[in-house]
Chain A
């Protein structure tokens, strides 16, 4: 039993870190652009599928993982440029409809390009198999994912807190208008934030593909989880999104031990509980 619990906790942390990458991007986009990016899940899915195709060409997982997310960034920037940008001043409903439509179209595009049936990607050569951790035997690749996601999260945090551009992004979360008043082109800040969010979703999708597999619906599967994370985190809070991601992953995987059918329900319970007890979220101010 202990063996099971320990490995499920680690599983939860690994999944949770992947959720955190998706959630941080969604939170940044929501915070800076004030847009609920319903296409965020499908960007995650494209991260996985583009990795699959790039991998077939270059033959090296790590190289593919380096390249694929930039395909997702291009896709994200295109969305921002042709759609989202025109809708900043429009009613919220239009943004919602646009992004939802885009998500559906992109999901169908995945089916057109890669087929309706799910597939999978093998972990990179050196990281197949498991390692003995004492309390439990654990897949090497998942441990590597934990390290990589931690590094990416730390890098994102350093960018936000230690650079001028990061400070502008944080300022934008607080007051977009005032950023423009200081002479900064807020449109560029929007594009950068959308690009960063897309990159994080793309990397997450690529890293997740050997663990979760690839299905055309994977974007719509992760989207509600990402929104739960944003709410639990507190709107616009990056540290909150990281913690909420891990919490969600662990809660999900621990529930799997006792009541597998409830694994997906438990995250909404978590959100409901948070709204009742602490409506502003873990780190939220408003």
Chain B
């Protein structure tokens, strides 16, 4: 087990968003976190990264609590976070986006990232804001890898991408899992998520309401309609 959440509560100001969330991510597995809009998926990732106003409960990484740590310390421990809308710096070039993420690069170097996403090689001097959605997503994932994470948190990486690009992203995530990385994947698109994930957690109104193997969900699709249906 690398990442464990046990009974985690999270707050934005007085707004109590997560209620006793428990989940875990092991090395070399992809856990899909599914849920309707506003269920608390993004907040779960932000809570792990220390980006909410208050968090309670247990968040352990490699047996060490992340609760007292600040965001950059959590990243340095080995968690990387690719937010919804990717968080690419639009005013910085691709090279600069990579460079400031690589200041303490260890296992992963910029050269490795360019090997993983050759498209980025030709775009070095392009501003982040002038990239296509797919290029931004590759840059965001590549940039996240430069902190040499053992756990990768991804928020809706397929959002707004052409199907072909989604395939590239899926291939990449499989490859990273193959190298032993744990991945917590938030997805709106349950199909994409089930195609990839080993295990599935479903969150609703800030609580985990289902957890199980991805296969079992594929066998019983009514689980999805029960928890994900709008209304």
Q: Does A174 contact B (CB under 8 A)?
A: yes
Distance in angstroms between the alpha carbons of A178 and B147 in the assembled complex:
13
A164–B100 CB distance below 8 A:
yes
Distance in angstroms between the alpha carbons of A217 and B19 in the assembled complex:
54
Q: Mark B56-89, 1 if CB is under 8 A from A, else 0.
A: 0000000000000011100110000101000101
User: When the two chains form the complex, which single residue of B53, B70, B92 contacts A171, counting CB atoms closer than 8 Å?
Assistant: B92
Residues on B with C-beta less than 8 A from A174 are 89-92
Q: Mark B105-127, 1 if CB is under 8 A from A, else 0.
A: 00000000000000000000000
Q: What residue in chain B is nearest A185 (Cβ atoms)? A: B72
Distance in angstroms between the alpha carbons of A164 and B51 in the assembled complex:
24
B99–A181 CB distance below 8 A:
no
B72–A168 CB distance below 8 A:
no
Q: Does A183 contact B (CB under 8 A)?
A: yes
Overall SS of chain B's interface: loop
Q: Does B198 contact A (CB under 8 A)?
A: no
Distance in angstroms between the alpha carbons of A175 and B143 in the assembled complex:
15
Q: Does B130 contact A (CB under 8 A)?
A: no
B75–A183 CB distance below 8 A:
yes
A sample of 15 cross-chain residue pairs with beta-carbon separation below 8 angstroms, ordered by A number, consists of A89-B53, A164-B99, A164-B100, A167-B100, A170-B89, A170-B91, A171-B89, A179-B100, A181-B75, A182-B72, A182-B75, A182-B100, A182-B101, A183-B103, A185-B70
Q: Separation in Å of the A32 CB from the closest CB of chain B?
A: 13
Q: Does B96 contact A (CB under 8 A)?
A: yes
Q: Does B104 contact A (CB under 8 A)?
A: yes
Q: Does B173 contact A (CB under 8 A)?
A: no
Q: Separation in Å of the A191 CB from the closest CB of chain B?
A: 14
Given the contacts A167-B100, A182-B147, A175 and B72 also touching, CB distance less than 8 Å: no
Q: Does B49 contact A (CB under 8 A)?
A: yes
Report which residue of A164, A183, A185, A187 has the largest number of chain B beta carbons within 10 angstroms of its beta carbon: A183
Q: Mark A170-195, 1 if CB is under 8 A from B, else 0.
A: 11011101111111111100000000
Chain A interface residue count, CB cutoff 8 Å, equals 20
Q: Separation in Å of the B68 CB from the closest CB of chain A?
A: 15
Residues on A with C-beta less than 8 A from B53 are 89
Distance in angstroms between the alpha carbons of A173 and B53 in the assembled complex:
21
Distance in angstroms between the alpha carbons of A184 and B105 in the assembled complex:
12
Residues on A with C-beta less than 8 A from B99 are 164, 167
Q: What residue in chain A is nearest B146 (Cβ atoms)? A: A182
Chain A residues with CB under 8 Å of chain B are 89, 164, 167-168, 170-171, 173-175, 177-187
B89–A181 CB distance below 8 A:
no
Q: Separation in Å of the B204 CB from the closest CB of chain A?
A: 26
A177–B51 CB distance below 8 A:
yes
List of 4 A-B pairs having minimum Cβ-Cβ separation, nearest first? A183-B75, A180-B71, A178-B87, A167-B96
B83–A178 CB distance below 8 A:
yes
A171–B71 CB distance below 8 A:
no
Q: Separation in Å of the A166 CB from the closest CB of chain B?
A: 9
A184–B100 CB distance below 8 A:
yes
Known A171-B91, A185-B70; further 10 A-B contacts with Cβ < 8 A: A164-B99, A170-B91, A174-B90, A178-B83, A180-B70, A181-B49, A182-B143, A183-B72, A183-B76, A183-B101
Residues on A with C-beta less than 8 A from B83 are 178, 181
A175–B89 CB distance below 8 A:
yes
A167–B81 CB distance below 8 A:
no
Residues on B with C-beta less than 8 A from A180 are 70-72, 75
Residues on B with C-beta less than 8 A from A179 are 100
Residues on A with C-beta less than 8 A from B100 are 164, 167-168, 171, 179, 182, 184
Report which residue of B75, B91, B147 has the largest number of chain A beta carbons within 10 angstroms of its beta carbon: B91
Given the contacts A167-B96, A168-B100, A184 and B72 also touching, CB distance less than 8 Å: yes
Distance in angstroms between the alpha carbons of A179 and B75 in the assembled complex:
11
Residues on A with C-beta less than 8 A from B89 are 170-171, 174-175, 178
Distance in angstroms between the alpha carbons of A184 and B103 in the assembled complex:
9
Q: Separation in Å of the B44 CB from the closest CB of chain A?
A: 15
User: When the two chains form the complex, which single residue of A167, A181, A183 contacts B104, counting CB atoms closer than 8 Å?
Assistant: A183
Q: Separation in Å of the A89 CB from the closest CB of chain B?
A: 8
Residues on A with C-beta less than 8 A from B146 are 182
Q: Separation in Å of the A240 CB from the closest CB of chain B?
A: 13
Distance in angstroms between the alpha carbons of A89 and B53 in the assembled complex:
9
A167–B72 CB distance below 8 A:
no
Q: What residue in chain B is nearest A188 (Cβ atoms)? A: B72
Distance in angstroms between the alpha carbons of A182 and B89 in the assembled complex:
11
